[in-house]
Chains A and B, each alone.
Chain A
Amino acid sequence: DAGVIQSPRHEVTEMGQEVTLRCKLISGHNSLFWYRQTMMRGLELLIYFNNNVPIDDSGMPEDRFSAKMPNASFSTLKIQPSEPRDSAVYFCASSLDSPSTDTQYFGPGTRLTVL
């Protein structure tokens, strides 16, 4: 398996533009996580899905952020409108099923820069 796949790897955009980040889970995994990593705040969970259903979205910063799982193997994280403070590395991770027992496997990340 190729592991968790994220695209794009790098994104540079201007403030106010819409940004869409994409993630493909490892085949057979049922849980998906979106994280954000910054120097100031470290690694933070944004949202967690299990079997396509959002279980915990309390980490989503505000209404400008939205995440979807249109099918069992794919997810998008959308920021609209983007702001400079959204600049960070965004990671997607998946696990076989329950994160309370299963290892999370991370993608390579998307480095987002909002000018």
Chain B
Amino acid sequence: QVQLVQSGAEAKKPGASVKVSCKASGYMFTSYGISWVRQVPGQGLEWMGWISAYNGDTNQKQKFQDRVTMTTETTTSTAYMELRSLRSDDTAVYYCARVGADNSDVFDIWGQGTMVTVSS
């Protein structure tokens, strides 16, 4: 079945980096994009960025542009999101979501989420 499986929980110190993976299966990886969405505990969803699995084009929310790198590895159908210079307020659950084909805006499949805890 179509699914996205994310890497496990991470604990990091302030100033460090974290790289979360999102492995796709059950569909043609390069026909869709992947968005990254985060959720600070007790708060709402926040879109962070998007990458085309077809050609690697990316867009990020302005607040993350200096700290986020999104990549894909088509041989393994895996997307990655690296967040640098971590702060305590980056503690959140990070989700990947498949973005519909043909310029669709729908996030139709979601990963299970990866908890990232930033604490000294």
A and B, one complex? Answer: no
- Enumerate chain A interface residues (CB-CB to B < 8 A): none
What residues of chain B have their CB less than 8 Å away from a CB belonging to chain A? none
